Amino acid sequence: MGIETLEDKQEKQDKIVGMFDDIASTYDKANRVLSMGIDIQWRKKGCDKAFEILGKKSLGQITDVATGTGDLLIYWREQAAKSGVTIEKYVGVDPSVGMLKVAKEKVDFADFIVGKAQALPVINESSDVISISYGIRNVVDRVEALQEFSRALKPGGLVVILEFTKQERSGMIDKIVDFGMKNILPRLGGFISKNYEAYRYLPDSIEEFLTTEMLSRELEEAGFEMKYTKSFSMGISTLLVAQKR
For residue 148, tell me if it sits in a domain.
yes
Which residue, among 129, 17, 116, 134, has the nearest Cα to 80 in the 3D structure?
A: 129
d(CA 178, CA 107): 34
- pTM for the whole thing? 0.79
For residue 176, tell me if it sits in a domain.
no
Is the distance from CB of 79 to CB of 48 less than 8 angstroms? yes
d(CA 115, CA 96): 8
- Residue 1 is predicted with a pLDDT of 43
Which pLDDT tens digits describe the chain residue by residue (245 residues)? 456 677 767 777 777 777 777 777 776 666 666 566 788 899 999 999 999 999 999 999 999 999 999 999 999 999 999 999 999 999 999 999 998 999 999 999 999 999 999 999 999 999 999 999 988 988 989 999 999 999 999 999 999 999 887 655 555 655 655 655 566 666 766 666 666 576 665 656 656 667 889 999 999 999 999 999 999 866 678 999 999 99
Which residue, among 178, 185, 182, has the nearest Cα to 234 in the 3D structure?
A: 178
CATH of the domain at 240: 3.40.50.150
Half-sphere exposure of 5 (CA within 13 A, CB side): 3
For residue 175, tell me if it sits in a domain.
no
- Residue 170 is predicted with a pLDDT of 54
For residue 193, tell me if it sits in a domain.
no
d(CA 208, CA 195): 21
For residue 158, tell me if it sits in a domain.
yes
- Residue 200 is predicted with a pLDDT of 63
Is the distance from CB of 124 to CB of 94 less than 8 angstroms? no
How many domains, in total, are found in the chain?
A: 1
Is the distance from CB of 173 to CB of 233 less than 8 angstroms? no
DSSP letters, 58-109, are EEEEEEEET-TTSHHHHHHHHHHHHHT-EEEEEEEEES-HHHHHHHHHH--S
For residue 116, tell me if it sits in a domain.
yes
For residue 142, tell me if it sits in a domain.
yes
- Residue 9 is predicted with a pLDDT of 73
- Tell me which residue range forms the domain holding 215: 6-167+211-244
For residue 130, tell me if it sits in a domain.
yes
